[in-house]
Amino acid sequence: MYLTADLMFFSQEKTEKASPKKKQDSRKKGQVAKSSDVNTAIILLFVFLFLWLIGSYASERLFKMSSYTFEHLLTLELTERNVQALFLDLTMEVVWIVGPIMFVAMIGAIISNYMQVGFLFAPEAIKMKLSKMDPIQGFKRIYSVRALVEFLKSMLKISLVGIVTFTIIWIYVDDILSLGLYSVGDSATMIGSLTVIMGLAVALLLIFLGILDYLYQKYDHEKNIRMSKQDVKDEHKKSEGDPLIKSRMKEKQRQLATSRMMQEVPKADVVITNPTHYAVALKYDEGNMEAPVITAKGVDYVALKLIGIAKNNDVITVENRPLARALYAQADIGQEVPEELFKAVAEILAYVYRLNKQAGQ
């Protein structure tokens, strides 16, 4: 009894790699190897590269909006119509400044996801499931090994990002302390440049960490979708079909094929026999066929049944053991008689035609 329990335990232990079908099923459910760190890193890289390219454009529009606000809007009469127009103008300015940045961030998010999982539409992943609201399962997820790993990763990222930003600030500390000596425009330009430099440095750091995290997520995903030996057997059984059902289907197909074959026996010119173990029915139409064609064949029980149908339908049977065996072995139903057997078959057909002529057929 203990041996049986041990065997059951080992058969249920998930030690086998996931099959292609299991991977495809998991993908349909939205269960794929993906790192959120890669998404964050790519989005940051795209955004700060874009800011580096259009920084002058964005700062120019900001200064124009600020100047216009201080020069005109502060003295504007507060009426419902003026407030509405002011709100629309400021909203459009913000859209022109922030809109391109948000668009670039969206492109970065799409590219980062496509790089990791390709094109994937998995509505089942967002389907409402009551099991997701189970507090016990939620507690287990919070206090699990995976949660601990994620916590340690987060602390590591925060520490490294802090070190990188502190290092850049330390490098530019003299310029930062001299900001009071610069004009407002120069100060804003310097702060913007410093922000972009820190953003690009953090993005590159997160890309490196994201690659490591993606490798870990891929390993963890493949580990989670492993299969037990029993799972592999069950999947194979499902894909191949139940052996019992398959054998029944094959038997049914054989019966149908035999039935169709027997329907061709009354149309044959001759049946060559062994005399009881082999039987081969031949048909030859000089106007439509280049050589005689095998219309039916069988051994043992099928041969006896074939011979019986031939006798009941006045089809001549000729005993020729070597020829019957050769025809059965060398040609299938619907095929022409092999060339090396032409002479022997021709002699038998000539004999059959003579008998038919003598009988007045």
The percent of residues above 70 in pLDDT, for the chain, comes to: 77
- Tell me if residue 299 falls in helix, strand or coil: strand
Q: Is this model's pTM higher than 0.75 or not?
A: no
The predicted structure's pLDDT at residue 19:
65
Domains of the chain are 30-118+129-226 (no CATH), 260-358 (3.40.1690.10)
The percent of residues above 90 in pLDDT, for the chain, comes to: 1
279: left (phi over 0), alpha (psi -120 to 50) or beta: beta
Q: Are 294 and 282 in contact (CB under 8 A)?
A: yes
Examine the pLDDT at 80 and tell me if it is beyond 70. yes
Examine the pLDDT at 123 and tell me if it is beyond 70. no
The stretch 247-266 carries a mean pLDDT of 74
Nearest to 325 by CA among 308, 344, 305: 344
Name the pLDDT band for 5 (thresholds 50, 70, 90): very low
User: pLDDT, tens digit, for every residue of 106-116?
Assistant: 988 888 888 87
Handedness of CA 219, 221, 222, 227 (dihedral sign): positive
Give the span between the Cα atoms of 283 and 5, in whole angstroms. Answer: 64
